[in-house]
Structure 1
Amino acid sequence: MIRLDNISKQNGRQLLFIETSAALQRGEKIGLVGPNGAGKTTLFRMITSKEPPDEGLVLVDRGVTIGFFSQDVGEMSGRSAVAEVMEGAGDVSAVAAELRDLEAALADPDTTDFDAVLERFGEVQARFEELGGYALEGRAREVLDGLGFSQEMMEGDVGKLSGGWKMRVALARILLMRPDVMLLDEPSNHLDLESLIWLENFLGGYDGALLMTSHDREFMNRIVNKIIEIDGGSLTSYAGDYEFYEAQRAMAERQQQAQFERQQAMLAKEIKFIERFKARASHAAQVQSRVKKLDKIERVEPPRRRQAISFEFQPAPRSGDDVVNLKGVHKRYGSRVIYEGLDFLLRRRERCAVLGTNGAGKSTLLKLATGHLAPDTGSVALGGSVKMAYFAQHAMELLDGERTVLQSLEDEFPRANQAALRGVAGAFGFPGDDVDKRCRVLSGGEKARLVMARMLFDPPNFIVLDEPTNHLDMATKDMLIAALAEYEGTMLFVSHDRRFLAALSNRILEVTPDGVHDYGGGYTEYVARTGQEAPGLRS
């Protein structure tokens, strides 16, 4: 359906693609992976003709429809969310627009060629029915519901929605369109767990071709049947899901390293012979033969090493056994009751994950526990010797855009030495000169990493995290999971990343309209016990 034929592409001084090829066939569901800046977004732009390759061809079969979801959703306002989604439904939206115009013309007493308009109306109406137009609004509402929209949000002005909800509207447009090919650039961002699982099921039943990026390992594993990796200007295909790709890539690296080492040993031996006998006339023929042999050998390159980032917590001071205690807490927003008589005690070294549908009160609970929100009635008390760090969803907005990464760390820790600050910056993905980047030019993921570095450098004994993985790539997530797995303090967190939940939780607090349910054991035990991966999926 789509072929990339010997493409090359340069972005400034960076060579993104060097005479490389790949293909997307009917029915394939492909995960596109590679380090940040490797060219994933550029590849999407070339496929959608937003940007041409410098050399080579991007070939799309005649008649193939493509739907492209990107993080740049553009302006939306003046329509309801439902109308906005329906507008992007492909041919049927254009037919719907013509049908509305014809209906207006038929109702207008000044219409001159009434019979011709009536005949055209019949043709367009038949086409509208053929395309399932009368069911379109129902399907649009079904998709929006799956992505977490309430009826009120569906009807309201889309312009009043936050950026994250606008992204869901843009995603819904593509899903409703059901094109022959979907290109999805990070569709799992900004989704809660229920919406994420709904999207998995939707894409599982989609019979078109799919090319997508995602930083959610579990999401990728459940959907894709092939991986295309961008690295060093090349596109390499691997059959299977992300886990299989990782295993195959690691095996290929080991084999390449072994070949490289064998060849290096052979070359060293040959060079030693040449150096030893090059001055002897009796060995001139042999020396010349070996020199020619070395010139003809195709050199094996060592595998490219991706720098693994790691972070280790320094020992945190011990807190008291009771870390935070909520007693008889009531909280409401207007007429909407969030908590009514909530009792919740978090004890030292517990890692409590809070689950619940969108709007159930997960973030509210974290704000109450951290003192960023006062209860209407009831009490919230921190235990003795508690040193708390709180990662909030708006934390990235508080960075000073004119300060550099290093200056931002220095502002927070004026007494720390430069080597230590550069070390933590490197662990969180800012090696070398990257510490001189100004905060205003950082991506969402880079800002999240900087906030995390500032939060964890001087180790707290109580960490509160509200969706910490939203903007993090897989490498940073893996680093964070590994570091937090060794952390000996207490955690209270909200996350939609199932790997993060399973790896780190040892207690689950489930917030539902029926009340708050407390489960001992981590997320894996919760899933086994309830038979569901999220509270909102219960029948």
Structure 2
Amino acid sequence: MIAVKNLSKNHGDRCLFKEVTFHVNDNEVVGLCGENGSGKSTILKILAGIDSSDSGEFNCPKGTTFGYLPQDIIMQSEKTLYDEVSEVFEEVIKLKKEAGEIEELFSSGHYDENQYQKLLDRYGDLQEKIMMTDAHTIDADIHDVLRGLGFLHRQWNKKVSEFSGGWQMKIYMAKLLLQKPDVLLLDEPTNHLDIDARNWLENFLKNYPKSVIIVSHDRHFMDSVVKKIFEIYASKLEVYHGLFSKYLLDREDRIDKLYIAYDKQQDEIEKMQEFIDRFRAKIDKAQLVQSRIKTLEKMEKIKLPPRRKKIKFFFPKALPSGDVVVEAYDVTKSYGAAKIFEPMSFTISRGEKIVLLGVNGAGKTTLIKVITQNVDPTAGEARLGHNVKIDYFAQDQAQELNPTNSVLGEVSQNCPMDMAPKLRTLLGTFLFSGDDVNKSVSILSGGERARLSLAKMLLRQSNFLILDEPTNHLDVLAKDVLKEALVKYDGTVLFVSHDRDFVSNVATRVLEIYEGKLRDYPGTYEEFLEHKLRNNLDADPDDIR
């Protein structure tokens, strides 16, 4: 068990958290939640020993090991994937190598008779140590973790430096999971995982025999693995028991009750202060006045944390379009000798809400750009239907914002005349109110940039929304609002997302790019999962087992 008592940390003149106390039991998976900038990552770093607190205590049994996964990391290794993850078992491999060398001596007879007993004793020691480390499962463990995170067997000999940043994060995670530390500290572990890898990680953590602390905005993931929540709110830490979804409801109920208690206390204070002011000068009331003064001095005043604002919005009514929105005929794309995907044909009909799935690098964004006609296919054709008007939210859409503009200036650009009077109201629904509208785009956080980009989409009437990772940088509440808006939208939607809760609630059809080919499933994501499981669709042809 790890125990934290009265932990405090300031960042400059801002208090991140003050005198927070908590403990994590063995075999317990805990979610660490809070607003962006509340200090969640800082707590993980303090537990990992790479940051320090200003005050407080942190205790754990001697020899407790910690494994920390940061949000981003770059690996410079020139080793192959297999050699890199095998580093985790370096000591065990050395033991096995030495034991193997002794076995060779015994079988060949090339050893000094005087050394026999010494070699035999050493061999016995080695075997005992090897048995204690479960060395016989090393290859199976490496296979299971790499396969679960989406690596194919033929990639095992690929150099780490040749993988993209997202895949390198997976390699780092694989090493961490294979180490099996006593306490796993995971900061947004699903950020670089496709939806299949997220599903695998859920099952891995459910069966993890040690302690885990997770920071994540992924509702389905958190509901699947977490049974207790630590929330940092207004510099304090509150503990909630139960599922993540229950926590979201319970915290709103707690804050509502806090506001009611605050109003009640303020009425009580006002009445006592009124009595004190009225009878302070009267001798016959002096004892009563002093009693109330002492009561006020001793009263623990309720401090109200800022109440979270809530986004509310919906997409404009879709413009009329033909029944066929997109027709693709034998579309393929290559960059030089590298083929991104094989020829694929499909039709998108009006009103469908389609999720496009695939591992990182499968070609999802490339296919979207072919459909939006931002990229030419190598062969084939993707045609838009009659009167189809696209509104495209790119994966890097927030980078398209002009950093020299203010928030209000950004949405004012190319704004239809009839929408100009409504801009402040629109920005208010995306949590930009008051002086916030005068903030420079250059100082906005990732979440604020994503919200501003979504706000700009509402200024343009369309009938075909194409969204590439729209939930990136959005917290759970903002994701829920976007999810509801897309469900109610009366136009056509094609989107890429690795957020299972979001996908499960929005998609009515699934397109998946797997090994360069397109799978088309006319149903929900949950039905698609069952279909894949029944038909063993993701079997690796190069699998070693």
TM-score bracket, shorter-length normalisation? 0.7 to 0.9
Aligned match of 1:481:
483
Distance 1:145 1:531, change over 3 A: closer
Aligned match of 1:7:
7
Structure 2 contact 202–225 (Cα < 8 Å) conserved: yes
Whether 1:93 and 2:90 are equivalent positions in the alignment is yes
Counterpart pick for 1:354 among 356, 360, 380:
356
Q: Which moved more, 1:337-346 or 1:28-37?
A: 337-346
Structure 1 contact 217–474 (Cα < 8 Å) conserved: yes
Aligned match of 2:319:
318
What's the RMSD between the two structures over aligned residues? 3.9
Distance 2:292 2:35 in 1: 40
Aligned match of 1:385:
387
Structure 2 contact 327–382 (Cα < 8 Å) conserved: yes
Q: How much has 1:251 moved relative to structure 2?
A: 2.6
Structure 2 contact 408–437 (Cα < 8 Å) conserved: no
Residue 221 of structure 1 aligns to a residue whose secondary structure is helix
Aligned match of 1:406:
407
Q: How much has 1:68 moved relative to structure 2?
A: 0.8
Structure 1 contact 319–383 (Cα < 8 Å) conserved: no
Q: What are the residue-to-residue correspondences of 1:436-475 with 2, within 5 Å? A: 436-437=439-440, 439=442, 444-475=446-477
Structure 1 contact 404–438 (Cα < 8 Å) conserved: yes
Distance 2:175 2:253 in 1: 40
User: Structure 1, residues 489-521: CA drift from partner, whole Å, max 9, x if none?
Assistant: 32111222122123323333455578533415x
* Paired letter, 1:385: N
Aligned match of 1:110:
none
* Paired letter, 2:177: L
Distance 1:125 1:466, change over 3 A: farther
Q: How much has 1:481 moved relative to structure 2?
A: 2.0
Counterpart pick for 1:343 among 336, 343, 346:
346
Q: How much has 1:261 moved relative to structure 2?
A: 2.5
Q: How much has 1:66 moved relative to structure 2?
A: 1.0
Q: Which moved more, 1:287-296 or 1:464-473?
A: 287-296
Structure 1 contact 464–493 (Cα < 8 Å) conserved: yes
* Paired letter, 2:245: E
Q: What are the residue-to-residue correspondences of 1:278-297 with 2, within 5 Å? A: 278=280, 283-297=285-299
Distance 2:34 2:51 in 1: 20
Q: How much has 1:29 moved relative to structure 2?
A: 0.5
Distance 1:185 1:327, change over 3 A: closer
Aligned match of 1:23:
23
Distance 1:175 1:445 in 2: 29
Distance 1:443 1:149 in 2: 32
TM-score under structure 1 normalisation? 0.84
User: Structure 1, residues 145-167: CA drift from partner, whole Å, max 9, x if none?
Assistant: 11011223332111121111111
Q: Which moved more, 1:135-144 or 1:178-187?
A: 135-144
Aligned match of 2:72:
72
Structure 1 contact 329–377 (Cα < 8 Å) conserved: yes
Q: Which moved more, 1:219-228 or 1:457-466?
A: 457-466
Distance 2:502 2:121 in 1: 57
Distance 1:234 1:56 in 2: 14
* Paired letter, 1:187: P
User: Structure 1, residues 295-321: CA drift from partner, whole Å, max 9, x if none?
Assistant: 3333333464122233343x3561313
* Paired letter, 2:167: W
Q: Which moved more, 1:377-386 or 1:270-279?
A: 270-279
Distance 1:274 1:411 in 2: 55
Distance 2:39 2:227 in 1: 21
Counterpart pick for 2:520 among 517, 521, 530:
517
Whether 1:58 and 2:58 are equivalent positions in the alignment is yes
* Paired letter, 1:181: V
User: Structure 1, residues 20-76: CA drift from partner, whole Å, max 9, x if none?
Assistant: 211111111100000000001110111112111111112222011111111232433
Distance 1:407 1:161 in 2: 40
Distance 1:403 1:61, change over 3 A: farther
Distance 1:270 1:337 in 2: 75
Distance 1:268 1:407 in 2: 41
* Paired letter, 2:345: L
Residue 18 of structure 2 aligns to a residue whose secondary structure is strand
Q: How much has 1:127 moved relative to structure 2?
A: 3.3
Q: How much has 1:213 moved relative to structure 2?
A: 0.7
Q: Which structure 1 segments of 5+ residues have no match?
A: 108-112
Counterpart pick for 1:196 among 188, 198, 201:
198
Distance 1:395 1:137 in 2: 42
Distance 1:154 1:471, change over 3 A: farther
Q: How much has 1:341 moved relative to structure 2?
A: 5.2
Distance 1:146 1:528, change over 3 A: closer
Distance 1:298 1:511 in 2: 59
Q: How much has 1:177 moved relative to structure 2?
A: 0.8
Q: What are the residue-to-residue correspondences of 1:18-417 with 2, within 5 Å? A: 18-87=18-87, 89=88, 92-96=89-93, 122=123, 127-128=129-130, 130-133=132-135, 135-278=137-280, 283-302=285-304, 304-313=306-315, 315-316=316-317, 318-322=319-323, 324-333=325-334, 334=337, 336=339, 338-340=341-343, 342-347=345-350, 349-356=351-358, 361-396=363-398, 398=400, 403=404, 406=407, 409=410, 412-413=413-414
Residue 295 of structure 2 aligns to a residue whose secondary structure is helix
Q: How much has 1:445 moved relative to structure 2?
A: 4.2
Q: How much has 1:199 moved relative to structure 2?
A: 0.6
Residue 206 of structure 1 aligns to a residue whose secondary structure is coil
Residue 222 of structure 1 aligns to a residue whose secondary structure is helix
Residue 197 of structure 1 aligns to a residue whose secondary structure is helix
TM-score under structure 2 normalisation? 0.83
Q: How much has 1:269 moved relative to structure 2?
A: 3.4
* Paired letter, 1:50: I
Structure 1 contact 509–517 (Cα < 8 Å) conserved: yes
Q: How much has 1:459 moved relative to structure 2?
A: 4.0
Q: Which moved more, 1:181-190 or 1:129-138?
A: 129-138
Aligned residues: 525
Q: How much has 1:442 moved relative to structure 2?
A: 5.6
User: Structure 1, residues 160-182: CA drift from partner, whole Å, max 9, x if none?
Assistant: 21111111111111111111111
User: Structure 1, residues 245-298: CA drift from partner, whole Å, max 9, x if none?
Assistant: 223222322332232232233333334444555566665554444444333333
Residue 298 of structure 1 aligns to a residue whose secondary structure is coil
Structure 2 contact 74–165 (Cα < 8 Å) conserved: no
Structure 2 contact 392–466 (Cα < 8 Å) conserved: yes
Distance 2:279 2:539 in 1: 77
Structure 1 contact 257–303 (Cα < 8 Å) conserved: no
Q: Which moved more, 1:363-372 or 1:423-432?
A: 423-432
* Paired letter, 1:354: L
Q: How much has 1:413 moved relative to structure 2?
A: 3.3
Whether 1:506 and 2:503 are equivalent positions in the alignment is no
Q: How much has 1:399 moved relative to structure 2?
A: 5.2
User: Structure 1, residues 114-151: CA drift from partner, whole Å, max 9, x if none?
Assistant: x7997998555763454234542442232111101122
Q: How much has 1:361 moved relative to structure 2?
A: 4.9
